[in-house]
Structure 1
Amino acid sequence: MAANKFRLMARASALAILTSAALLGAGQASAEEAAAPAAPADEGLGDIVVTASRRQTTTLSTPINISALGGEDLEKRGVSDFQDLSRAVAGLVYNSASIRDGGASSFIIHGLNLDAVSSGGERPQATVAPVSVYLGETPAFVNVHLADIKRIEVLRGPQATLYGNASIAGTLRVLFNEPDATKFTADVSGDAGWTQHAGGPNYTIDGVVNQPLAPNLALRVAGGYTFVHGFINAPALYALDGAGKPLLADPSDVIHSLPVRTSKKNVDDSELAYVRGMLKYEDGPLKLLATYQHQYEHSDGPDQDSYPGGAAPTAFSNAVDYGATHPFQNDNFDSVFNPEFDEYETGSFMLQPLKRKVDLGSLESSYDFGFATLTSVSSGYRTDSTATNDSTAGYQKTLGYFYAGYPRIFVPSVRDYNEKAFIQEVRLVSAGDAPLTWSLGAFFMKQKSHLVSTDYNLGYTDYLNAWGDWNTGTDVGYIYERKMDFTDLAAFGELTYHITPALQLTGGVRVFKQKLDITAMNALPICGFYCSSDGVDPMGVVLASDQQKKTKALFKVNTSYTFANDTLAYFTFSQGVRRGGASGIPTTGPFGEDPAFQFYQPDSVDNYEVGLKGRVARRFEYSVAAYWVDWKDPQVNVSTPVGGFPAGVNGSTARSIGVDVEAHLLVTDQISLTANYGYNESKLTGPITVGGRSYGGDDAKLPGTPHHVASVSANYDQPLGDDLVLNGQVNVSYRSGISTSLTPRANVDLPGFTMVGASIGLSKEAWRVSLYGENLGDVRGVLSAISTQSTDVRGINNRLSRPRTFGLRFAVKYH
């Protein structure tokens, strides 16, 4: 095992070194002139200042695998959401595509993901996401519209020392522009466009006002609204009565009647509105910054289709729905509700709305003592969401026999979610000009979350009554409720010794004490007392609770050497861990599951990384990193074998190796090129078997991560005179295929695809206007899908990138 590990790491390192050699070779003539005087600071590529190490450094002088994009770069590339961002950063994968997918972080870095990618980021799982997201100084994921951004930093690999235990794969930081007390400014920007297959325009408007209130005090208020027109049509919806039940095509025949078919276009319209206020006081060494953001999101439905569907008979037929008592009652279902679909058509029987509200606030205070800076950050957030999803096709495929041949099975799953947290962090960071530098800190988080998911089979009770069958008198088929109360108390520190001006050694540790109280409830009212844990409860309730306490230390070692030509080489070893939890599934009754599904344990990673980065004559810069990650007891969210209940389980081991490459070249003063490439090979190194059911075999590819992701962008800025500049931009991004699940029965192997975008426009100091096109080839980019082994063809649900879009962007600045 050790030899194999060394061989694979050597292979990744060799690829990194060869890539570095190629990059360096391209600029060798300039490299040989490294001893010559440096170019003036206002020429060539500029430095991007980052604060990932909790002190100000640059991306090229920070000895970790980090990428950073400034606000101006984001504007030039037209990056306004996380899907756009993922195409601009090496090794960052984001398998969500719409406003709707803001319920949970679905970022993947370095392949560290075991969960199926079929649900995108619509709702949170019981397990913690492997990539932590910070909005300013607050550790919380919000699907923000990327406007008025100062900088985005992407830190690859475990960042536990400084960013906590929820960052086993990496950390993404979104930093907003802060108030400026020196001048009044006002900015307005917008976007109007049209997407192929959509029924109307998309538009965005953003505004920012910066108002000095006193010599040391300023207020900055940003706000905006985005409407994205849908491009998905629903040709086979159920028509509903006032109670939300399916209308009967033949009201006189409750037993055999089919539902009434209707249709609707553009069922995935979405909108997002936000307002953010920031108040900043700064006087010498003292800084105070208060931030508050409110965001509202609404979506009529997900950006997914059911193409191509499939031929009859489907699961909605006697020929397939065997074993039911009574047998399926109307084999004309497939002729009335056609199971075959065109592209951008969904087989959903219902509209699937979502509403989400997010409130986030923070107070950051810092004081520079000269030898060190003391910073305190108090923050909190609250998110509330309600979503409806169509589970009909999955129920009919896997549980249709249980519903007595009901010919109008109609299962809306309504999910209500609430999460809130308070976070306090205090840190003391030494000045960076001494041989020995350090940072010390303490962290506290109190987080509570509450999820209630209710599945209804509407009209089913009326159907049973028409038969004269016994029933519990409710159309509620299943309730899942989960409450979690999590407390994290930690102390952390990093110590760096600059052995020489070129060589440094850093050691870091984070010691934490965590407590998790979790209660989970499953109820099967349609099954009644037969499914209850006590054999009596008429709602079929099963309760499970657990309290987990964990104290652990996580370590980091980093060393780097800066060569004479400013090339930086580094090595990092870092650790990460995630908390465990309880699933609360029934273990008795007809849907009783193996008790092994009740609880899941913490998982951990050991990360090894080598990297090389540098700059040649201020016109070419590069960064190459190779990594190896050992993942122990990896957590995965699964469906249980008997009742299909959600549960978290642990595997044994997994492994990820890969390379991240970034390069920037200033060809001329007018033309610049940026290229990114990420290679990843991640797989299980031990099978996942729980309760006698396999959820992934040895060597199974981890889902959601392509082997290859790459992007190239070119920018052209040509002065035309009178301060007028012609701006042009072209970008091409590629991702290879992915698997969607570890479980062969649920997996879909999705093909890779290439996206091309471009823009051309004019700008002056105070304004910018451009015409743009995205996905110019109108490529059908499928991000996730559901296998027909686990759903009827009407529930295939291919989650899609947005089709070809043309539009106009503008920005006006008063400074």
Structure 2
Amino acid sequence: MTMSTKFGRIAAAKALSGSVMLCLVGAPGVAWAQDQELRNENPDEIIVTAQKREQLLSDVPVPVTAIGGGDLIAQNQTKVEEFFASVPGVNLQFQNNRSQLAIRGITTGPVSGNPVVGYTIDDAPFGGATSQGGLFGSAPDLDPSELARVEVLRGPQGTLYGAASMGGLVKYVLVKPDLGAFGGSVAGGLSWTKRSSEVGYNLRGAVNVPVSDTLAVRASGYTRKEAGYIDNVRTGESDVNSSRVSGGRLAALWEPTDGISLDLNALYQVRNIYGSSNVDSTTGSFYQQTDMPGTGRSRSETQMYTATFNADLGGVDLTSITSYSRAQSYDNLDFTASPLVEFAPIFPTLFPDQPGLGDLFYQEYNVDKWTHETRLAGSFGDSVDWIVGGFYTKENGDYSLDNSAIDPVTGDTVGVPIDDGNGPQLGTIIVWRDKIKFEEYAAFANVDLILSERFDIQVGGRYSHNDQSMDHNDWFQYDPYPAPAFPSTNQPKASGSAFTYQVSPRFKPTPDHMVYARVASGYRPGGPNAICGPLALPFDVPCEFKPDKTVNYELGAKGDLADGALSYDVSLFHIDWTDIQIVQVLDVFVYNGNAGKARSRGVELGLTARPMDGLTISGWYAYVDATLREAVEDANFFAREDDRLPFSSEHSARLSIDYEFFPSSSIEARIGGSATYVGDRKGEFVPFEGVYDLRQNYPSYTQFDLYASATMGQFTLSGFVQNVTNKHGVIGGGFWNQTTYNANWFNYARPRTIGFNAEMKF
């Protein structure tokens, strides 16, 4: 066992309540071959991979929340907007049927600049590094059936994870094949949502096959339907926002000799959402909308293929990860109330006598992404653990939109055609096409200096360089066809380099208590603007926007009291954010710029009590003060100093209770519940000073959830009630919001949902 393992505290925590907040400390350089030994020695403890290897929850100086995939299914938290809502310091931005995250308040809105939160699937980066292809960093909506756990790392993670993790990182950890035994499971369930005439369902199955002593294969598949509950009073359709998700995974693990392994993974998922979750507040109902016919549909298709090679080279551990991912998505959005496209004033010759037209905004956004990382880890005696590595990624992103006038009754396109070189398209007013290439190289290193049994210091750095190029084309039909559409083309480029770092000393006054500090930086790359320079005259639009940076200063403490009956962890943080990327609007197009400074500071406190066998009471509280430090009065972006950043709750909290007991010798039962409080939030910044007082306010709300299960041998039956009191918590929408483009449209938390699941293992 290495010094860093000996240095770790043996905690008594178990991931029982679906959301456990962990603040962890340790070194990165423990041998890969000892990971399984670590699991065998500590079977009841939470193990995470926050620092690119398996570690006990007490061994990483990063605030981490770990959520088990089984707990997500038991509580029916199958969508990202459901399970991320229970993570401290994390707020959701629900945009066009997608969930985007703000961690510790680091955001200025869902479409402002490149992504601020990074995502990995089994340590391979997923999603676009640019706003165009990845559509501003949407959280992957993976079904939890194949997830061992989800880890949320709060604060900048630029040293080990690079660009796009300046706010934090989300790691999806998949279930691995097992060389030890044949087995599997079959599961299914039903659910009922308030005000829905549909029944939701899910079917899941998985099988693990040891082909030989050195090779195992795991295959799985799933499908689920979530009932719609919103009625469209314009079209007369009921339950329009139903959805269906289907997918599968094939994985193989090959261990030809001790110290060598190869993991292969292929993942595929399709998500179809058949209508938006917009609610029109003018109807007086939480279950009605007035979206135009033919709008609201969205689809995403996700593929990911990963090969991970590990080898013990005799004192040095080699890890090599190669991945290819493809994400293809489209949305049909209702832009009728958009301030960007109002047909009458912008296109007066096209629609002189046609008031009340609808506006269909069809957009596609696709990313093809290759990544490779090679790293080496080892030790110099008992006093130094180290890791060094290199990283490369290349991605091609496509973004396209077609903006069309539609009949508000039938949904048919109306008006005159546009000819973009592929023939006239009826009713299309704007055609926009972007292709962007992003390429990045990086090198990183982390060293843990163990100065004594009680004190060590971890130091790390990362240098990265990126190059970007864009091919932009658009057509605007200002005058009636056959007048030619007004075309424009542009090929802007951008490049940049960055150095990120982290320093993390820790001190253990006793084996059960630890104090640590952390200084860490993060950044996200800048990029090119599609319309800029002479094309944007008379406006001064730069062809390249700059990267922005965060620096996090943190002090934490944690430990166990009363022989593990009570555990605590507390973290105080201060984040400085400079050169903030913001979205700006000119005429009928948007571009990215940089403006000002912001600050986020706060405290996160977690407590876990185990007053008796089987009973766990956990709670956390987070205070986040995320504000601008400079006023911004730029093109259609207005904010004052000390304004709250969008979507961040100043106060949030969660309390959960979980009790495991044995009503008989053959039955293991579990009951539990949680209360999650989301504080009031502010919407996006407004376009100009005259509407400053109209900036959207989202009120606070508390959601209660219950669950229970009984296991009899290989059979488990579980039930759940989500949103017990049917609270209509606002998660998006309102004035000047890029979510709905209508001041009267809002998105609410899912109504009360009741259901059960049955699982049989073999």
Provide TM-score, normalisation by structure 2: 0.85
Deviates more, 1:579-588 or 1:732-741: 579-588
Deviates more, 1:786-795 or 1:578-587: 786-795
Residue 105 of structure 2 is aligned to residue 111 of structure 1: yes
Name the count of aligned residue pairs. 691
Aligned partner of 2:714 among 732, 757, 766? 766
What does residue 8 of structure 2 align with?
none
Query: How far off its partner does 1:148 sit?
Result: 2.9
1:83 partner SS? helix
Query: How far off its partner does 1:428 sit?
Result: 0.5
- Where do 1:321-340 residues align within 5 Å? 340=283
Whether the 8 Å CA contact 1:114–1:742 is kept in 2: the answer is yes
Larger radius of gyration: 1
Deviates more, 1:574-583 or 1:41-50: 41-50
Whether the 8 Å CA contact 1:306–1:795 is kept in 2: the answer is no
- Where do 1:778-793 residues align within 5 Å? 778-787=726-735
What does residue 64 of structure 1 align with?
62
Residue 410 of structure 2 is aligned to residue 442 of structure 1: no
Query: How far off its partner does 1:788 sit?
Result: 7.3
Q: Give the AA of the match of 1:151.
A: R
Judged with a 3 Å threshold, the aligned counterparts in structure 2 of structure 1 residues 187 and 793 are, in CA distance, closer, same or farther, namely closer
Residue 90 of structure 2 is aligned to residue 138 of structure 1: no
1:147 partner SS? helix
How many percent of aligned residue pairs carry the same amino acid? 21
Whether the 8 Å CA contact 1:59–1:67 is kept in 2: the answer is no
What does residue 601 of structure 1 align with?
546
Deviates more, 1:503-512 or 1:424-433: 424-433
Query: How far off its partner does 1:385 sit?
Result: 1.6
Instruction: Report which of the two has the higher share of strand.
Output: 2
What does residue 436 of structure 2 align with?
484
Q: Give the AA of the match of 1:55.
A: R
Whether the 8 Å CA contact 1:662–1:677 is kept in 2: the answer is yes
- Partners of 1:64 and 1:194 lie apart in 2 by 39
Aligned partner of 2:287 among 344, 351, 356? 344
- Partners of 2:425 and 2:49 lie apart in 1 by 60
Deviations 1:189-247 (A, max 9, x none): 2331100011211111111110110101000112110101111111113xxxxxxxxxx
What does residue 508 of structure 1 align with?
460
Deviations 1:75-126 (A, max 9, x none): 55544332232243221223339xx745xx61111100001x5xxxxxxx58
1:611 partner SS? strand
Deviations 1:516-557 (A, max 9, x none): 11233343123589xxxxxx9932223333222222221211
1:128 partner SS? coil
- Partners of 1:629 and 1:387 lie apart in 2 by 35
- Partners of 2:573 and 2:582 lie apart in 1 by 22
Aligned partner of 1:377 among 321, 333, 336? 321
Judged with a 3 Å threshold, the aligned counterparts in structure 2 of structure 1 residues 714 and 43 are, in CA distance, closer, same or farther, namely farther
What does residue 430 of structure 1 align with?
378
Whether the 8 Å CA contact 1:518–1:545 is kept in 2: the answer is yes
In structure 1, the gaps of 5 or more residues are 1-22, 24-40, 118-124, 238-262, 310-339, 466-471, 530-535
Judged with a 3 Å threshold, the aligned counterparts in structure 2 of structure 1 residues 794 and 95 are, in CA distance, closer, same or farther, namely closer
- Where do 1:148-297 residues align within 5 Å? 148-237=146-235, 263-282=236-255, 283-297=257-271
Provide TM-score, normalisation by structure 1: 0.80
What does residue 812 of structure 1 align with?
760
Whether the 8 Å CA contact 1:396–1:409 is kept in 2: the answer is no
Query: How far off its partner does 1:398 sit?
Result: 4.6
Deviations 1:342-394 (A, max 9, x none): 22111111232112211100000010124221000000101112221111222
**Aligned-pair Cα RMSD in Å:** 2.9
Whether the 8 Å CA contact 1:542–1:586 is kept in 2: the answer is no
Aligned partner of 2:355 among 402, 407, 417? 407
Deviations 1:552-585 (A, max 9, x none): 2212111111121421111111111111123323
What does residue 331 of structure 2 align with?
387
Whether the 8 Å CA contact 1:225–1:271 is kept in 2: the answer is yes
- Partners of 1:579 and 1:537 lie apart in 2 by 40
Query: How far off its partner does 1:800 sit?
Result: 1.7
- Partners of 1:488 and 1:396 lie apart in 2 by 34
Aligned partner of 1:546 among 481, 492, 504? 492
- Partners of 1:684 and 1:606 lie apart in 2 by 15
Deviations 1:408-463 (A, max 9, x none): 41211111221111000000011597210100000000011000011011469966
What does residue 304 of structure 1 align with?
278
Q: Give the AA of the match of 1:295.
A: Q
- Where do 1:551-562 residues align within 5 Å? 551-562=497-508
Whether the 8 Å CA contact 2:52–2:123 is kept in 1: the answer is no
In structure 2, the gaps of 5 or more residues are 1-20, 22-38, 128-139, 418-423
Judged with a 3 Å threshold, the aligned counterparts in structure 2 of structure 1 residues 419 and 789 are, in CA distance, closer, same or farther, namely closer
1:162 partner SS? helix
Query: How far off its partner does 1:56 sit?
Result: 3.0
Judged with a 3 Å threshold, the aligned counterparts in structure 2 of structure 1 residues 602 and 790 are, in CA distance, closer, same or farther, namely closer
- Partners of 1:388 and 1:289 lie apart in 2 by 38
Judged with a 3 Å threshold, the aligned counterparts in structure 2 of structure 1 residues 789 and 604 are, in CA distance, closer, same or farther, namely closer
- Partners of 1:303 and 1:45 lie apart in 2 by 42
Aligned partner of 1:475 among 427, 430, 434? 427
Deviations 1:230-271 (A, max 9, x none): 11111113xxxxxxxxxxxxxxxxxxxxxxxxx211111111
1:85 partner SS? helix
Deviations 1:9-28 (A, max 9, x none): xxxxxxxxxxxxxx9xxxxx
Aligned partner of 2:701 among 733, 753, 758? 753
1:394 partner SS? coil
Whether the 8 Å CA contact 2:278–2:740 is kept in 1: the answer is no
2:491 partner SS? strand
Query: How far off its partner does 1:747 sit?
Result: 2.9
Deviations 1:701-752 (A, max 9, x none): 1001111111111011121122212321111101011111122647311101
Aligned partner of 1:634 among 580, 586, 591? 580
Query: How far off its partner does 1:406 sit?
Result: 1.2
